[in-house]
């Protein structure tokens, strides 16, 4: 697979989001299958693997660590931390450093490694100065425990303030044909500061695969039960987008998912999406998007068509929080 740069970090043009192997989309595969899927992603050319401490209470990091242990020198691992100011005790930069370092060291043990290439703040705290977090990241870089750092769902102001203290390697945020909020300011800010941009949910939680319709049901702890774009009326209302994707896919001898990812890759050379899947055929399909090349005219045609399509529903952290209160189905 072709490679791209997130600042100075070289990664495969498409990465692998591993969360779904442990949580978020109903019953997870068993451990043996999950390990095989991670290895299969590597065999397909992926060298960029994304996880987080909060995914299944660390179990996802442990999966990634076990699967990639003997490939460690060939892969780039990104993980994330989520902090609460109340957990730090008497607040100071030094105490913040100690708290985050302890979280990182726990992640490293689960990942079976002595460092990670990319360490994200999973969400930017409103009550902890981004400058303090950036200072901590700089200290961890000096110790060699991380090679670079990033923010998730950050604003342009938060990015610039943090970057001025310790340069950011990447910003990870939701981005797809169905969620383009960050095109207005965040992606241009990343471009201006030479920061990579890593879209999560680049296929809109699978909607853009074209495999979901109004009769599709979601059971158990599946995020799509609370993501409003998967409400039956919204699935029907968003059909024009899928129709457009299918049309372009036929013209390029590709799939709707591959067109969605190819469109994203064409936009900027510092964009590296991280789709996740739990099926070999879908993993193969997603990584195959790296070989689908759009001409500038084809890209502009897609952009023009997308401008005519209204999107119904979205995905918010507030909605996802509702998943904890739902009874299994």
- Tens of pLDDT, residues 111-161: 999 999 999 999 999 999 999 999 999 999 999 999 999 999 999 999 999
Judge whether residue 327 has pLDDT over 70: no
Give the mean pLDDT of the chain.
Answer: 94
The predicted structure's pLDDT at residue 329: 55
The predicted structure's pLDDT at residue 176: 97
Among candidate residues 25, 55, 120, 175, the one labeled active-site is 55
Tokens 């995914």 correspond to 55
| Residue 86 burial class via C-beta count within 10 angstroms: exposed 0-12, middle 13-18, buried 19 and up | exposed
Closest CA to 209 of 231, 177, 236, 233: 177
Each residue's pLDDT tens digit, 55-64: 999 999 999 9
40 part of the active site = no
Determine how many CB atoms are found less than 10 A away from the CB of residue 225.
18
| Residue 237 burial class via C-beta count within 10 angstroms: exposed 0-12, middle 13-18, buried 19 and up | middle
With contact defined as beta carbons under 8 Å apart, do 245 and 208 qualify? yes
* Collapsed DSSP state (helix, strand, coil) of residue 309: coil
Closest CA to 125 of 77, 88, 169, 170: 88
With contact defined as beta carbons under 8 Å apart, do 268 and 189 qualify? no
* Collapsed DSSP state (helix, strand, coil) of residue 55: helix
- The fraction of the chain above a pLDDT of 70, given in percent, is 98
Determine how many CB atoms are found less than 10 A away from the CB of residue 239.
12
Q: What is the mean pLDDT of residues 269-279?
A: 96
Q: What is the mean pLDDT of residues 167-176?
A: 98
The pTM score is 0.95
Question: Domain 3-204+267-292 adopts which CATH fold?
Answer: TIM Barrel (3.20.20)
Each residue's pLDDT tens digit, 57-89: 999 999 999 999 999 999 999 999 999 999 998
The predicted structure's pLDDT at residue 328: 56
């Amino acid at each position: 697979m072709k490679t791209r740069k997130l600042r100075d970090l070289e990664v495969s043009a498409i990465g692998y989001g591993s969360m779904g192997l442990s949580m978020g989309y109903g019953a997870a595969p068993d451990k043996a299958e999950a390990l095989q899927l991670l290895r299969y992603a590597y065999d397909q050319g992926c060298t960029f693997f994304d996880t987080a401490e909060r995914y299944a209470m660390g179990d996802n990091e442990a999966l990634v660590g076990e699967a990639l242990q003997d490939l460690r020198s060939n892969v780039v691992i990104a993980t994330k931390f989520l902090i609460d100011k109340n957990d730090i005790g008497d607040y100071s930069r030094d105490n913040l450093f100690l708290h985050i370092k302890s979280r990182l060291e726990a992640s490293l043990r689960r990942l079976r490694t002595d460092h990670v290439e990319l360490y994200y703040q999973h969400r930017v705290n409103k009550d902890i100065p981004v400058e303090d977090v950036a200072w901590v990241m700089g200290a961890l870089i000096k110790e060699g425990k991380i090679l670079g750092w990033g923010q998730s769902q950050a604003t342009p102001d938060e990015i610039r303030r943090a970057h001025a203290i310790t340069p950011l390697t990447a910003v990870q945020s939701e981005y797809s044909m169905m969620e383009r909020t960050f095109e207005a300011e965040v992606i241009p800010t990343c471009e201006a500061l030479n920061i990579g941009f890593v879209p999560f949910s680049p296929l809109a939680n699978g909607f853009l695969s074209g495999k979901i319709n109004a009769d599709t049901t979601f059971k158990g702890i599946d995020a799509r039960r609370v993501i409003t774009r998967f409400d039956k009326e919204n699935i029907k209302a968003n059909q024009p987008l899928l129709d457009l994707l299918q049309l372009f896919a036929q013209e390029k001898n590709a799939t709707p998912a591959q067109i969605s990812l190819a469109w994203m890759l064409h936009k900027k050379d510092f964009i590296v999406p991280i789709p996740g899947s739990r099926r070999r055929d879908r993993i193969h399909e997603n990584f195959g998007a790296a070989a689908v090349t759009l001409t500038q005219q084809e890209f502009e045609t897609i952009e023009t068509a997308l401008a005519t399509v209204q999107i119904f529903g979205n995905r918010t952290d507030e909605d996802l929080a509702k998943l904890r209160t739902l009874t299994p189905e």
